[in-house]
Amino acid sequence: MTDHSQDIRDRTFDFACRIARLAFRLEPQSRIRSIVDQFLRSGTSIGANLEEAKAGSSKRDFVRYLEIALREARETVYWLRICIELKVASRDELEPLRNEGEQIGRILGAIVSNTKRRMALRTTAFWAAFAFCILHFAF
């Protein structure tokens, strides 16, 4: 990840903290405990998977952890939508979290897409060079 990667890592860390504060405040309401547990797990997992991606041993590892983070972001948005619908907290409190989760998901989706595209280009370039060498030295 580049220096710009710190921005998304900071953003997901802040998002996780906001999710955790909301979850801790809602936890005494036993009727929604499983929903709160779900969005707490998925919301805090996004940043954790970005940290794993940063430490990945290969581009393939990097992409794999980013894809997990992307799925977790989408899941968090889903649970927040349920919270909004069930009115477990005020819409004014939940809607900004949902919006931030969607923005994080779009950013992660773009990173995954661009990284996969660059990986495919490198692979194509490698095989093109390989085929050229085979053809060039075969004749």
Domain region containing 54: 5-138
Phi, psi dihedrals of residue 57, rounded to the nearest 5° = -85, -10
Count of structural domains, the chain: 1
Judge contact between 63 and 115, C-beta under 8 A: yes
Judge contact between 89 and 22, C-beta under 8 A: yes
Query: Each residue's pLDDT tens digit in the chain (139 positions)?
Result: 455 567 999 999 999 999 999 999 987 777 888 999 999 999 999 999 999 998 888 888 999 999 999 999 999 999 999 999 999 999 999 999 999 999 999 999 999 998 888 877 565 655 455 555 555 566 5
The per-residue pLDDT for 35 is 92
The pTM of the full predicted model, rounded to 2 decimals, is: 0.81
Q: Give the CATH number for residue 9.
A: 1.20.1440.60
The per-residue pLDDT for 56 is 81
